[in-house]
Amino acid sequence: MFDYTYLPSPNLIPSLVEMMLKIMFIFTMNMGVFAPVLGWVERKQSALMQDRIGANRADIFGFTLFGLLHIASDALKLLVKEDFIPRGADKPLHYLAPFIAVVPALVAFAVIPFGGKYMLWGHEANLVIADLNVGMLYIFAVASLATYGAVIGGWASNNSWSLLGGLRVGAQMLSYEVAMGLTLVGIFMVYGSLQLTTIGMAQENFFRWGIFLQPLGFILFIACALAENKRTPFDIPEAESELIAGYFTEYSGLKFAMFWMAEFLEMVTIAAVLVALFFGGWHIPFITHQGLIDAMGHLFGPNFGAIAAMLIHAAVFWIKVVAWIVILMLIRWSLPRFRFDQVMRLGWKIVLPLALMNIVLTGLIILAVR
């Protein structure tokens, strides 16, 4: 008798196709859209804030396209630029460090949902690559790996300024990663889960968004996320006026571009986590998830209605992400750099005690309500 135990599931092929499409979509959004465009956005936004024109020199037959051609010109310049390695540098680690810096920002997106669950021709589509029940722990673990890229890059360059920048990275990340995990414990207590899809579905009601339930945790998480991103006002690992360019002083060409790109991709990841935890994820205020699917189903039928709802929810999620990227860039061009001792004092003496206090207050409020 034939044993049917080892036959593949009939849902295996649709699931594999769905997985590949989601991976391609996330990779395209990060590497094909955000990574190249954010450099132009930052130039133009800083120019507007400083009453300048910004990038506008690159042109084709006199057409500058608002400076967008600088994206292509910068990419071409970095492709043909000499890959210089200083004398005495550790070549294998010098090559490896940029990859360690850029990969975690991409891999962290595996557990961030950009939509809900939808039934398409009998198959349930879930708009998240890996729906882990320890999603936020996964993000913390992966994000911490990027620190090794900066530290190794600073050490492997055989440059005193790079080494000092790498040491600053290690000290800053140790200070703020401890506090960053504690700032989100209140969110986990309120929603009772570390799974980002569960937290997203719990925010279907506008008044149950994380920003309303955990305002102090939100403020503290923003501070820690900015420090994790190593951008102003927490850019002491680079500190151009002190360390030239910090841990990637001795990098050029594509390896320099990878460090540069890692900061922008980390910004996208931070914005996506903020949206997923504090701003309702893919939900539209005062419109329920199933309500939108039913409304689209009346217009286009059950399957195409689910596709329409899926596209709307994904668009809402990415619009929120873009809005937060703009806000993070506004912060970057509005505040001066902290001194090293101020960064350490803020992390250990202010953010960490407030995060612990927030956990205690959240626990007391939950006990009182129950």
The answer to whether 100 and 259 are in contact (CB under 8 A) is no
pLDDT tens digits, 209-231: 999 999 999 999 999 998 888 88
Confidence of residue 264 (pLDDT cuts 50, 70, 90): confident
Confidence of residue 66 (pLDDT cuts 50, 70, 90): confident
146 vs 352, higher pLDDT? 352
Rounded to the nearest angstrom, the gap between the alpha carbon of residue 315 and the centroid of all alpha carbons in its chain is 17
The answer to whether 277 and 224 are in contact (CB under 8 A) is no
Reply yes or no on whether the pLDDT at 338 is more than 60.
yes
pTM of the shown model? 0.90
| Per-residue model confidence (pLDDT) at position 8 | 54
Reply yes or no on whether the pLDDT at 236 is more than 60.
yes
Please state the domain extents for the chain: 83-369
Range of lowest pLDDT (104-118, 237-251, 320-334): 237-251
Burial track 64-100 (b if 16+ CB lie within 10 A, e otherwise): eeebbbbbeebeeebeeeeeebeeebeeeebebbbeb
pLDDT tens digits, 69-112: 888 887 788 788 877 788 878 888 888 888 888 888 889 999 99
Give the residue from 111, 114, 108, 106 showing the smallest Cα distance to 130: 111
SS3 per residue for the chain? CCCHHHCCCCCHHHHHHHHHHHHHHHHHHHHHHHHHHHHHHHHHHHHHHCCCCCCCCCCECCECHHHCHHHHHHHHHHHHCCCCCCCCCCHHHHHHHHHHHHHHHHHHHHHCCCCCEEEECCEEEECCCCCCCCHHHHHHHHHHHHHHHHHHHHHHCCCHHHHHHHHHHHHHHHHHHHHHHHHCHHHHHHHCCCCHHHHHHHCCCHHHCHHHHCHHHHHHHHHHHHHHHCCCCCCCCCCHHHHCCHHHCCCCHHHHHHHHHHHHHHHHHHHHHHHHHHCCCCCECCECHHHHHHHHHHHHCHHHHHHHHHHHHHHHHHHHHHHHHHHHHHHHCCCCCCCHHHHHHHHHHHHHHHHHHHHHHHHHHHHHHC
248 vs 206, higher pLDDT? 206
Distance CA 223, CA 233 (A): 10
Reply yes or no on whether the pLDDT at 1 is more than 70.
no
Phi/psi for 175 (5° steps) reads: -70, -40
Average pLDDT estimate for 226-253: 79
| Per-residue model confidence (pLDDT) at position 150 | 84
Average pLDDT estimate for 133-141: 91
Confidence of residue 9 (pLDDT cuts 50, 70, 90): low
Give the residue from 142, 27, 162 showing the smallest Cα distance to 93: 162
Confidence of residue 253 (pLDDT cuts 50, 70, 90): confident
Reply yes or no on whether the pLDDT at 184 is more than 60.
yes
| Per-residue model confidence (pLDDT) at position 282 | 94
| Per-residue model confidence (pLDDT) at position 237 | 77
